[in-house]
Amino acid sequence: MRRESSIHGQWSSKLVFVLAATGSAVGLGNIWRFPYIAGENGGGAFVLIYLACILLIGLPIMMAEIALGRRGRQSPINTMATLSREEGLHRAWGFVGWLGVAAGFIILSYYSVIAGWSLSYVFRAAGGAFTGLDADGVRGMFNALVSDPERLLAWHTLFMIMNVLVVARGVRSGLEKAVKFLMPALFGLLLLLVGYSMSQGHFMEGVSFLFKPDWSEVSGDTILLAMGQAFFTLSLGMGAIMIYGSYLSSKASILKTSATVVSADTAVALLAGLAIFPIVFASGLAPGEGPGLIFITLPMAFAEMPGGLIFGTLFFLLLVTAAWTSSISLMEPAVAWLAENRGFDRPMAAVIVGGIAWFLGLGTILSFSLWSNPIGFSLTIGGEATFIGGTLFEMADYLTSNIMLPLGGLLIALFVGWRMTQRSVEDELDLRSRVLFRAWYYVLRFAAPIGILLVFLKAVNLI
Ligand code: TRP
């Protein structure tokens, strides 16, 4: 059965889908999260495992998600329910959609707070606040921001309103146009920053940190974090790409569009790493600085380079835009469901979803000040006490990226690889080459799910 369109509308072209999906994928995950997680986990080995996950798990699952979305043409919850019915499967598969909606709320709640940091940095850059600051100075400025809950609340609220405004209007008007200009501009500015980093004398140190693996540093948790980053950065496992796929024309090639999105996303992450780590080493900072990494390193570069005021302002502006085109995709699955099942119009649905995520975001805001003491419990395994827990922000990030998204991805791989009939899958994917189909199907059925399971088992020290 082939539904030609969704009640929510359709992308005006294949190119727009690619831009929107790239807009979803490229965001804080590439420029903020990737460098700081790689930095905290020793660099090289982490990066290589991340790249392997992108290729072996991310790409095939992205294709599966798009295929599901396009076949179901509804919110992920209803797509999963409808397709299960069509394929004669248990309706419990709808759980995949619910898991995704839950993950979307939690991710959006803290994503908006970090996007708020970026917003505030636009104004700092434009106002020349970085001029003359050294490493301690920029760190002080960052700490002053995050320890001020009222200021964070204002930026978080502003960013959430920006999201609600776009999502309320529907994905087609407004966003399509913005993405076309902003993504290439962001790419150009990153290249400029990499150029600046190259001129700073510590470039090769940055390169070898990013790409030279030290396998002795790798633990089960490192692998889990690398896989989680792959899911996060590609927007996979929660239905965002699935719903974007539901607005895609039946004629577009799923393989080509996915490959483009994955390549662009990976390129942006690696460029961000190449821009940031040389500055880290040139200024004697530690790569494991944590979530503040880019907010501490990049201002130093902008303070020194000619034209830094303009480039700095532009950079943070583009970072906000990249975050914006990502966070709307975090809202879309829940908004579409509210419209389909609860009869809300889009503006109302967007306000509800934005409101819930806004409220949850208060936990992240306080995680950097009043609630900065980690909560959790100690577990003693083999005589060694391990602390499980963290701040609310850390727990929200860990739970979603490293557990909920890979779990969602695993279920999607199993559904498409093992439960749907091969005929339906082939029909939807519509790959002209048999060999390519076979290769993809094999990876989706075996490599991806087994990979995810092994990483899970390794992370809890069972293997
Ligand atoms: N991929 C985006 C980033 O890298 C964040 C994002 C958007 C996301 N939609 C998602 C992450 C869905 C997980 C799931 O910034």
Q: 313-351: per-residue pLDDT in tens?
A: 999 998 999 999 999 999 999 999 999 999 999 999 999
DSSP sequence for 35-85: HHHHHHTTSHHHHHHHHHHIIIIIHHHHHHHHHHHHHH-S-HHHHHHHHHH
| Residue owning the nearest CA to atom 8 of ligand 1 | 235
Choose among 41, 94, 28: nearest CA to 295: 28
pLDDT, tens digit, 9 for 90 and up, residues 414-460? 999 999 999 999 999 999 999 999 999 999 999 999 999 999 999 98
pLDDT, tens digit, 9 for 90 and up, residues 251-278? 999 999 999 999 999 999 999 999 999 9
pLDDT greater than 80 at residue 163 = yes
pTM of the shown model: 0.96
CA atoms within 13 A on the CB side of 333: 33
Alpha helices in 284-399 (DSSP H): 293-304, 308-341, 346-367, 392-398
pLDDT, tens digit, 9 for 90 and up, residues 96-142? 999 999 999 999 999 999 999 999 999 999 999 999 899 999 999 99
The pair phi, psi for residue 379, each rounded to 5°, is -125, 130
Indicate the burial class of 388 (C-beta count within 10 angstroms; 0-12, 13-18, 19 or more): exposed
Q: Are 242 and 66 in contact (CB under 8 A)?
A: yes
**103 CA to centre of ligand 1 in angstroms:** 11
| Residue owning the nearest CA to atom 9 of ligand 1 | 235
Q: Which atom number of ligand 1 is nearest to the Cα of residue 241? A: 12
Q: Are 282 and 196 in contact (CB under 8 A)?
A: no
Q: Are 114 and 323 in contact (CB under 8 A)?
A: yes
Q: Are 394 and 374 in contact (CB under 8 A)?
A: yes
- Beta-carbon count within 10 A of 349 CB: 24
| Residue owning the nearest CA to atom 7 of ligand 1 | 326
pLDDT greater than 80 at residue 179 = no
**187 CA to centre of ligand 1 in angstroms:** 18
Q: Which atom number of ligand 1 is nearest to the Cα of residue 237? A: 14
Mean pLDDT of 206-224: 94
Q: Which atom number of ligand 1 is nearest to the Cα of residue 323? A: 15
249 CA to centre of own chain: 24
- Structure-token pair, residue 325: 């085109």
**What local confidence, expressed as pLDDT, does residue 125 receive?**
96
Q: Which of 329, 332, 405 is the pocket-test mutation for ligand 1 (most atoms within 8 Å of CB)?
A: 329
Q: Are 337 and 352 in contact (CB under 8 A)?
A: no
- Structure-token pair, residue 167: 């999502």
Q: Are 205 and 287 in contact (CB under 8 A)?
A: no
The label of the residue with tokens 């986990």 reads 41
Where b means 16+ CB within 10 Å and e means fewer, 142-157 reads beebbeebebbbebbe
**What local confidence, expressed as pLDDT, does residue 378 receive?**
85
| Residue owning the nearest CA to atom 6 of ligand 1 | 235
275 CA to centre of own chain: 19
**What local confidence, expressed as pLDDT, does residue 271 receive?**
96
Of residues 228 and 14, more confidently modeled: 228
| Residue owning the nearest CA to atom 10 of ligand 1 | 235
Mean pLDDT of 364-392: 87
Where b means 16+ CB within 10 Å and e means fewer, 91-123 reads eebbebbebbbbbbbbbbbbbbbbbbbbbbbbe
pLDDT greater than 70 at residue 175 = no
**326 CA to centre of ligand 1 in angstroms:** 6
Mean pLDDT of 231-245: 97
**136 CA to centre of ligand 1 in angstroms:** 31
Q: Which of 32, 57, 105, 107 is the pocket-test mutation for ligand 1 (most atoms within 8 Å of CB)?
A: 107
The label of the residue with tokens 């709320």 reads 105
**102 CA to centre of ligand 1 in angstroms:** 14
Instruction: Give the residues across from 246 on adjacent strands.
Output: none
- Structure-token pair, residue 296: 């501490």
**What local confidence, expressed as pLDDT, does residue 1 receive?**
59
Q: Which atom number of ligand 1 is nearest to the Cα of residue 28? A: 15
Q: Count the helix, strand and coil residues of the chain and give each as a percent rounded to the nearest 5.
A: 75, 5, 20
CA atoms within 13 A on the CB side of 37: 30
Indicate the burial class of 135 (C-beta count within 10 angstroms; 0-12, 13-18, 19 or more): middle
**206 CA to centre of ligand 1 in angstroms:** 26
Sign of torsion, CA 354 355 357 361? positive
What amino acid occupies position 263?
Answer: S
The pair phi, psi for residue 306, each rounded to 5°, is -65, 140
Q: Which residues have C-beta atoms less than 6 Å from ligand 1?
A: 24-25, 27-30, 107, 232-233, 235, 238, 240, 326, 329-330, 405
pLDDT greater than 70 at residue 178 = no
Q: Which atom number of ligand 1 is nearest to the Cα of residue 327? A: 7
pLDDT greater than 70 at residue 174 = no
**What local confidence, expressed as pLDDT, does residue 11 receive?**
87
pLDDT greater than 90 at residue 176 = no
Q: Which of 113, 159, 233 is the pocket-test mutation for ligand 1 (most atoms within 8 Å of CB)?
A: 233
Q: Which atom number of ligand 1 is nearest to the Cα of residue 30? A: 4
Mean pLDDT of 192-206: 92
- Structure-token pair, residue 113: 């707070």
